Amino acid sequence: MLKSSERWFEMAGVALMTAVAIAGFAVTIYAAWLFHDMPDGSELADFRPVNSARVFAWDGTLIGEYGQERRVNVPYDRIPERLRSAFLAAEDRAFFQHSGVDVSGVSRAMLKNVYNFITGRRFEGGSTITQQVAKNLLLGNERTLGRKLKEVILARRLESSLSKEQILELYMNDIYLGYRSYGVGSAAFNYFGRPVDQLTLAQSAYLAALPKGPENYRPTTHKAAAIARRNWVIDEMAQAGFVTRAEAEAAKKEDLIVQDKPQRAHYHDADYFVSEVELRARKLFPNDPNAIYTDGYYIKTTLDPRLQTYARQALMNGLETYDRRHGWRGAWGNERPASAWHKIAAEKEPPSERGKWTQAIVTAAAKGSVSIETIEGDKGSLTSSDIAWAFAGKGLKTGDLIFVEANPEGAGYRLRQVPNVNGALVAVDPFTGRTLAMVGGYSFSVSKFNRATQANRQPGSSIKPFVYAVALERDFTPASIVEDGPITMMGGDGKMWTPQNYEHDYMGPQPIRRGIELSRNLMTVRLAQKVGIKPITQKIVEYGIAEKVPAEMSMVLGAGEVTPFNLTGAYSIFVNGGRKIRPHLIDQVLDRDGKVVYKSDDRACPTCGQPFNGLESPRLTAPGQQVMNPITAYQVNSFMQGVVERGTARSAAALGIPMGGKTGTTNDYRSAWFVGFTADMVVGVFVGFDDNRTLGDKETGSQAALPIWVDFMRNANNGRPKKAVPQATRRCLRVDPRSGRGLQTGHRAEISGRTGRRWATAVS
């Protein structure tokens, strides 16, 4: 019989074994639950981080990005060794020695944290870079014992699945470094405006200082702490032997200067263009339009940055000129007493494109003198010409909040006003349809509505060249005579309609080319009567001007609606020999691996990829579709050269380059147009208010739109050779532009129909 003490030990042993068994079972169940859905780490071998799309001009200039997270993926072998060393020194010096978990590092961190607790300093983590990759990419930021255990297990799995280089590449391309920057590539660009291979030692060390708390080390708000942390990283690099002590001391003397805010791109003149590309790029992926924000696409566009800058400047200057012509509308605010004006003014920024403008308050005002103080604290007076301009309008008074600009031509400040009027400018290559420049309004920061592609407005007389082209395709020649006289007919609303010329005068019988040159409404209506409205509307749709047009006679004077983008593209027909091209903004889209997933040029060329065999090289057909006889295109082209030489656009002739074009003005001066061309470019300009109110008396296409076109073309063609516009391929018969009689024979050039003789005739 067992003694009681022995029985007790026996029972205790059984209980202990049972408890151990239960605990083991519980641990097994917990472990099974904890790790049942845990990845093995091998999936990271093909890991594709979220990457924003990057948008480039034709010459490689970065003009924009699409995506909430700013990422620029940098392969391991493209990350400079100095930058890699900075992160290793700061985060995991033994990275290439441990197997995912650094036991000595954890022990060291625990001992150090005892000291940190006593001294009140921040605790240090013991996680290796491999553990951070496991946490950031596979587990998330949950702070529990279970998550920490998973992190350790996953770190070991990662080390067995991936190379050290692969793990470090994942880490350096995913770590959040502030400024909306994920990874070193994006951070280098956002903080310092340069790629990683151009970073200095000090800049590399600063980026390596950020993983523990980017907001705590932002130089714009915590510069001393940022420099101290950076210098600590530099010292760690020297201690680890990554740099010499001399290099470290030199780097620590470097100032820490970063950009005020993350920079999307260094080029800022293409906001409307980039926004439109975003809309069109989304449509390229109908099954997943949001892919452009996550999949790292490379979008190569048609934009010419030089022309785009000229376009933006020309449109802004032209709209400001129009606005100044119509007077000072008054201050945008008034603050009296003026004690709080800085706060109010700071919320009303000038257009971002006008970087030299600033907010100011009027401190004293009289008709002969106006004193101001800028938001920066500078004091001065408005120029006398601006004072006169202001008091000719709404005037100025003490406390008025205004925009000013330091006078670039002398002392004082210029009074500035954001125009209410708006407009658009589009420049297209007539042979390919590549959109070289596009501006959709006065300022993208003021209004993001793109008037180039989204504003449907009446084109006025700028539609007339297409009406005359339809006539020439039928039974008319450039020498055909049409009466410029009164006419009354039934309108589309069932009422009698009596159109008028702009000057309300009549010129009698005239060759039809004069109808274009002088923009004669009555000649155009008579011509359309003879041709018929139905074939005209059908052709206008075929030319790509609009998808639908009213079958009414008023349409031939511009009563329908078009966008500046479509109208400008359609004018290409007159330059390229009658081919309808598709204006486009995107040349190519490549995925992150460099594979072309979209290209705008879809012409087939089955022999282009074959080796040269000594025979004729492959030939591509011209882009677009032939929709107009080449001779007709040349004839209308010639008409519009006459518009510049002796018609409504005579002021453009001062440029001294071969060109043509057509003005357009709608009823009550609601819209003003000029669409013109040279040998290799078509440019359209539209001016109008968004609410379609009148621009004011005499604000015609030649007054409001043409000067913008001239300003743009002057810069665009500066230093370029003067190319002649396309010529006819057949013999031309010179005729008197007023009478239509042939100058060589003295007889009227009555050449009719579609005979061979007709196609051999054009008017120069």
Instruction: From 469, 513, 510, select the one nearest 763 (Cα to Cα).
Output: 513
Q: What pLDDT sits at residue 225?
A: 96
Mean pLDDT (whole number) for 735-746: 60
DSSP 8-class letter at 622: P
Task: Calculate what percentage of the chain has a pLDDT beyond 90.
Answer: 64
CB 282 within 8 A of CB 567: no
Give the tokens for residue 634.
Answer: 């040349």
Residues 6+ apart with CB under 8 A from 677: 430, 571, 572, 574, 575, 637, 640, 659, 660, 661, 683, 725
The residues carrying an active-site annotation are: 91, 461
Report DSSP state, residue 764: -
Confidence of residue 6 (pLDDT cuts 50, 70, 90): low
pLDDT greater than 80 at residue 421: yes
User: Last residue of some domain: 218, 252, 286?
Assistant: 252
- Counting Cβ atoms within 10 Å, is residue 376 exposed (0-12), middle (13-18) or buried (19+)? exposed
Identify the pLDDT of residue 121: 52
3-state secondary structure 60-94: CCEEEEECCCEECCCCHHHCCHHHHHHHHHHHCCC
pLDDT at 762: 42
> Is the model more confident about 565 or about 174?
565
Res 755 pLDDT > 50 = no
Confidence at 741, pLDDT banded by 50, 70, 90 = low
Residue 100 has pLDDT above 80, yes or no: no
The rounded distance, in Å, linking the Cα atoms of 274 and 484 is: 46
Cα gap 255→227, rounded to integer Å: 8
Answer yes or no: do 77 and 211 share one domain. yes
pLDDT-derived band at 120 (thresholds 50, 70, 90) equals low
Query: Do 81 and 177 belong to one domain?
Result: yes
Domain that holds residue 348: 330-416
Chain centroid offset of residue 433 CA:
18
Among the residue ranges 77-81, 151-155, 296-300, the one predicted with the least confidence is 151-155
One domain, residues 110 and 247: yes
Half-sphere exposure of 170 (CA within 13 A, CB side): 26
* 524 lies in some domain: no
Query: Is 237 within 8 Å of 89 (Cβ atoms)?
Result: yes
Claim: this prediction has a pTM higher than 0.95: no
Q: Are residues 235 and 367 in the same domain?
A: no
80 and 202 share one domain: yes
Q: How confident is the model at residue 242 (pLDDT cuts 50, 70, 90)?
A: very high
The closest alpha carbon to 265, from 233, 292, 299, belongs to 299
Is there a single domain that holds both residue 230 and residue 338?
no
State the total domains in the chain. Answer: 2
CA atoms of 228 and 234, how far apart (whole Å): 10
Backbone angles phi, psi at 673, to 5 degrees: -135, 150
Q: Residue 277: helix, strand or coil by DSSP?
A: helix
Share of the chain above pLDDT 70, in %: 82
- CB environment 186-217: b (16+ within 10 A), e (fewer): bbbbbbbeeebeebebbbbbbbbbbbeebeeb
Q: What pLDDT is stored for residue 3 in this prediction?
A: 61
CATH of the domain at 135: 1.10.3810.10
CA gap 683, 436 in Å, rounded: 10
Q: What is the pLDDT of residues 272-293, one digit of tens each?
A: 999 999 999 999 999 999 999 9
384-388, 556-560, 604-608: least confident range = 604-608
209/356 same-domain check: no
Q: What's the pLDDT score for residue 20?
A: 63
Residue 573 tokens, joined = 């027909």
CATH number, domain with residue 388: 2.40.50.140
Q: Is the dihedral of CA 604, 606, 612, 616 positive or negative?
A: negative
Does the pLDDT value for residue 550 go beyond 80?
A: yes
pLDDT at 40: 56
* 196 occurs within a structural domain: yes
Determine the Cα angle at 164 with ends 160 and 169, to 5°.
120
pLDDT at 759: 34
> Considering the domain boundaries, does residue 368 fall inside one?
yes
The tens digit of pLDDT for each residue in 488-534 reads 998 877 789 999 999 899 999 999 999 999 999 999 999 999 999 99
pLDDT(263) > 90: no
Q: What pLDDT is recorded for position 110?
A: 54
110 and 243 belong to one structural domain: yes
Sign of dihedral through CA atoms 339, 343, 346, 347? negative
**pLDDT greater at residue 1 or residue 678:** 678
Report yes or no on 379 lying in a domain.
yes
Mean pLDDT is lowest, of 697-701, 711-715, 718-722, for: 718-722
Is 463 a domain residue? no
Asked, for residue 100, whether it belongs to a domain, the answer is yes
Q: Are residues 93 and 179 in the same domain?
A: yes
pLDDT for position 124: 53
Under 8 Å CB-to-CB from 566, ≥6 apart: which residues?
544, 545, 546, 583
The pLDDT assigned to 492 comes to 74
Q: Kindly report the CA angle at 403 between 399 and 406, in degrees rounded to 5?
A: 115
From 252, 281, 307, the end of a domain falls on 252
Q: What is the mean pLDDT of the chain?
A: 86
For residue 540, the tally of other CB atoms under 10 A from its CB is 23
Confidence of residue 152 (pLDDT cuts 50, 70, 90): confident
Could you give phi then psi for residue 686, rounded to 5 degrees?
Answer: -125, 140
> What pLDDT was estimated at residue 217?
94
Give the phi and the psi of residue 662 in degrees, each rounded to 5. Answer: -145, 135
Q: What is the CA radius of gyration of the chain?
A: 36
**Is pLDDT above 90 for 96?**
no
Quote helix, strand, coil % in the chain, to nearest 5: 40, 15, 45
The answer to whether residues 219 and 226 touch, using CB atoms and an 8 Å cutoff, is: yes
Averaged pLDDT for residues 44-73: 82
The pairing of strands 579-580 and 671-677 is: unpaired
| AA letter at 232 | W
Task: Inform me whether the pLDDT recorded for 14 exceeds 50.
Answer: yes
pLDDT tens figures, 185-203: 999 989 998 999 999 999 9
What's the confidence (pLDDT) of residue 390?
A: 96
Q: Would you state the structure tokens that stand for residue 536, as one six-digit string? A: 């005209």
* Mean pLDDT value across residues 58-69: 88
Rounded (10°) CA dihedral 440, 445, 446, 449? 40
Residues 344 and 248 in one domain: no
Which residue in 389, 236, 176, 549 sits closest to 402, CA to CA? 389
Same domain? For 337 and 197 the reply is: no
Please state whether beta strands 379-381 and 369-374 pair in parallel, antiparallel, or not at all (unpaired): antiparallel
Residue 156, domain member (yes or no): yes
Domain stops at, among 384, 416, 448: 416
Does pLDDT of 397 surpass 60?
Answer: yes
Q: What angle do CA 578, 582, 583 make, to 5 degrees?
A: 110
Half-sphere exposure for 113 (CA within 13 Å, toward CB): 10
How far apart CA 378 and CA 372 sit, in angstroms, is 8
With b meaning 16 or more CB within 10 Å and e meaning fewer, what string describes 310-348? bbbbbbbebbbebbbeeebebbebbbeebeebeeebeee
pLDDT at 23: 62
Rounded CA separation 104/126 (Å): 9
- Judged by average pLDDT, the poorest of 162-171, 175-184, 543-552, 722-731 is 722-731
User: In this structure, are 96 and 198 located in the same domain?
Assistant: yes
**Confidence band, pLDDT 50/70/90 cuts, at residue 135:** confident
Contact call for residues 105 and 94 (beta carbons, < 8 A):
yes
113-117, 128-132, 540-544, 722-726, range with the lowest pLDDT = 113-117
Q: Is residue 117 part of a domain?
A: yes
C-alpha–C-alpha distance, residues 311 and 318, integer Å: 10
pLDDT recorded at residue 598:
95
